[in-house]
Amino acid sequence: MQTPIPFYLDEILEKVRYQDGGAVADYIPQLAAANPSYLGAALCTTTGHLYSAGDDEEEFTMQSISKPFIYALALQEYGLEEVRSLVGMEPSGEAFNELSLNRDDHRPVNPMINAGAMTVTQLINGVDSGVDERVEHIRKYLSRLAGRDLTIDYQTCDSELEHAERNLSLAHMLRNYDIIQDDAHDAVMTYTLQCSTKVTVKDLAVISATLANGGTQPITGEKILDADVCRLTQAVMSSAGMYDGAGRWMAEVGIPAKSGVSGGLLGTLPGQLGIATFSPRLNTEGNSVRGVEAFKLLSQEMGLHLMATDQRYGVAPIREVEIIDDTAIVRLQGVMNFSAAESILYRLEDYEITAEQVLLDFSQVTTVNRIGRTMLKEGLRRMREAGFKIGVIDPDELIKDRTMRDGTQVRRDDTEDFMIEGEELW
Ligand code: GLN
C-alpha cells in the first residue's frame, strides 16, 4: 500500500496552480529573474516522515524565512531576557523593511521584520564576532536544522547589496541608538548573507518540523534547540510571521508561519509537523500568492488550524494488529485526525500483511475528523487495490459515510468474531 500523502499535496498544488496573480520580487535584481511558475510543497512529521510534491528539488534563497531560526539561535545562546533587552516580541503589523523602532527606548519591537532581525543576527557567535565567522556559524547551524550542508547564493547576495539602501539606513539607525555594535555595512552584509542561504521546499519542511518537534531534528535525531526556545519562537511566528497580514493569517490559516521574498513559506504545527511551499509570485504584503492559498487549503482540508480543538491524539493510534485466521485486524484508538491517520498509513505501508483480509477496528476510537476519515478510507481503498479484502469494525458508526474515492463502499463487519472480547459487558 502506498501512502496517499504525496498525492494530497499534489492535489493541493493543482488547486492553486491557476492562481497566477502577484509578481516576483524585483527590488533584488537576482530574484526578479526567478522562474515564476515553480510550485512545490513538502510536509515533514515530527516522527521524521518527509513527503513532497511538485518542484521539490529546486533551490531558492531563504530570505526572511531565516529570521525565526536565527531568533531561536539567539534565544538558545543568550536566553530570553538578554534577547528581549534588545528586541521586543510584538507583532508590529508593518512591512518587512519598515524603519521601525520603539519610541521610548529605540528597541526594534518585532524580531520577524528587518530592524529586529538584523539586531538578532548581530548577537550570533558573540557580539565581537567577525562577519565571516558569524556567517559560517549561521550557515552551519541552518545546515544542521536541514540535515544537509546548505550553501550560500553569493550572486543573489551581491545583487541585493547593490540596492541595500533601506537596510543600510536601518542598520545606521540601530547603531545610532547603540542597539548594534557592528559597523552598519558589516551588519547588512551578515544579514544579507544569512538571507541568501539556499534551501529546497523539503529542507524548509524539515527545518520547521525541528521547531515543531521541540528542537530535535526529526530525521537525523540531533538535538539542536531547547524545547522552551522552540515554544517561544513559534509563539512569535504565530503573531508576527506574516508581516502586515499576520492577524488575518492567524485567524484564517491558524498555523505559525514565516514567509520570504523569494517565494518560500513555512509553517509549524507544534508537536505534529512542519510544512512548506515554494512559489515565487508575491502579493502586495510580500507573501507568496499560491503559498498563502495552499496553506489555507492545507489548514482547512487537513484540519491543521492551531485553534481547532481536535488536534492531538495523545496515544499511539494503532493499539495492536491482531491476526484471526485469514484476517488482520488493525485496532485503532484515540482521535483520528491528520497526524493519527498519517502515522497509521505509514505503519501499514511497511507492515508485511500476510492475511487475505484487513479490517480497521474503530471500537476504541473516540472521534474521527474529516481528514482522518478521508485518509483512512483512502488507505483501505489502496489496500483493496493491492489485493486485500477490506472492511471496518465500527460499532458506533464513526464512519457514517463509507463511500470511498471511487464511489464504492467500505464494508462494515461488526461480527462477534472480530469485536473486542468482553466489550458487550459495558
Ligand atoms: N533579504 C531581504 C530583505 O532584507 C529579505 C526580505 C524578505 O524576505 N521579506 O530585504
What CATH number has the domain bearing residue 101?
3.40.710.10
310 within some domain: no
Check pLDDT > 70 for residue 128: yes
Same domain, 234 and 327: no
Catalytic site includes residue 261: yes
Check pLDDT > 80 for residue 134: yes
Q: What pLDDT does 49 receive? A: 94
Same domain, 349 and 249: no
Percentage of residues of the chain with pLDDT beyond 90: 73
Q: What pLDDT does 390 receive? A: 94
Same domain, 380 and 247: no
309 within some domain: no
Same domain, 323 and 200: no
* Atom from ligand 1 closest to the CA of residue 97: 10
Cβ 261 under 6 angstroms from ligand 1: yes
Q: What's the pTM value of the predicted model, to 2 decimals? A: 0.86
Cβ 263 under 6 angstroms from ligand 1: no
Q: What pLDDT does 2 receive? A: 73
Cβ 60 under 6 angstroms from ligand 1: no
Check pLDDT > 80 for residue 124: yes
Q: Where are the alpha helices (DSSP H) in 18-147?
A: 29-32, 66-78, 80-86, 114-121, 131-146
Cα–Cα distance, 295 to 287 (Å, whole number): 12
More reliable by pLDDT, 62 or 91? 62
Sole residue written with cell 509578481: 23
Residue 65 confidence class, pLDDT cut points 50, 70, 90: very high
- Residue 201, annotated as binding a ligand: no
Same domain, 263 and 335: no
Cβ 97 under 6 angstroms from ligand 1: yes
357-408 pLDDT tens trace: 999 999 989 889 888 999 999 999 999 999 999 999 999 999 989 999 999 9
> In whole angstroms, how far apart are CA 182 and each of 29, 122, 167, 173, 185?
27, 7, 14, 12, 8
**Per-residue cell: 25:** 520580487
Cα–Cα distance, 166 to 156 (Å, whole number): 17
**Cα 96 to ligand 1 centroid, rounded to whole Å:** 7
**Cα 326 to ligand 1 centroid, rounded to whole Å:** 60
How many independent structural domains does the chain possess? 2
Least confident of 91-100, 225-234, 305-314, 414-423: 414-423
Task: Select from 302, 337, 365 the last residue of a domain.
Answer: 302
Amino acid letter, residue 404? M
Average pLDDT over residues 204-222: 97
Same domain, 414 and 294: no
Catalytic site includes residue 243: yes
Question: For residue 370, what is the domain's CATH number?
Answer: 3.30.750.24
Q: What pLDDT does 423 receive? A: 44
313 within some domain: no
307 within some domain: no
Check pLDDT > 60 for residue 346: yes
Catalytic site includes residue 258: no
79 within some domain: yes
Task: Select from 302, 327, 348 the last residue of a domain.
Answer: 302
**Cα 376 to ligand 1 centroid, rounded to whole Å:** 41
Same domain, 129 and 264: yes
Check pLDDT > 70 for residue 214: yes
Longest dimension (CA), the chain: 78
Catalytic site includes residue 346: no
**Cα 262 to ligand 1 centroid, rounded to whole Å:** 8
Which position among 261, 330, 365, 368 bears the catalytic label? 261
Same domain, 248 and 347: no
Same domain, 226 and 117: yes
Same domain, 334 and 296: no
Cβ 64 under 6 angstroms from ligand 1: yes
- For 175-206, give the DSSP string: HHTTS--S-HHHHHHHHHHHHTBEE-HHHHHH
Task: Select from 243, 278, 302 the last residue of a domain.
Answer: 302
Amino acid letter, residue 253? V
- Residue 208, annotated as binding a ligand: no
- Residue 167, annotated as binding a ligand: yes
> What residues make up the domain containing 395?
318-424
Q: What pLDDT does 318 receive? A: 92
Helix (H) or strand (E) holding 361: strand 357-368
Mean pLDDT, the chain, integer: 91
71-112 pLDDT tens trace: 999 999 999 999 999 999 988 777 787 777 787 888 999 999
Catalytic site includes residue 229: no
Same domain, 143 and 74: yes
- Residue 27, annotated as binding a ligand: no
Beta bridge partners, 40, equal 54, 278
Check pLDDT > 70 for residue 1: no
Residue 258 confidence class, pLDDT cut points 50, 70, 90: very high
Least confident of 32-36, 311-315, 358-362, 368-372: 311-315
Same domain, 143 and 235: yes
* Atom from ligand 1 closest to the CA of residue 243: 9
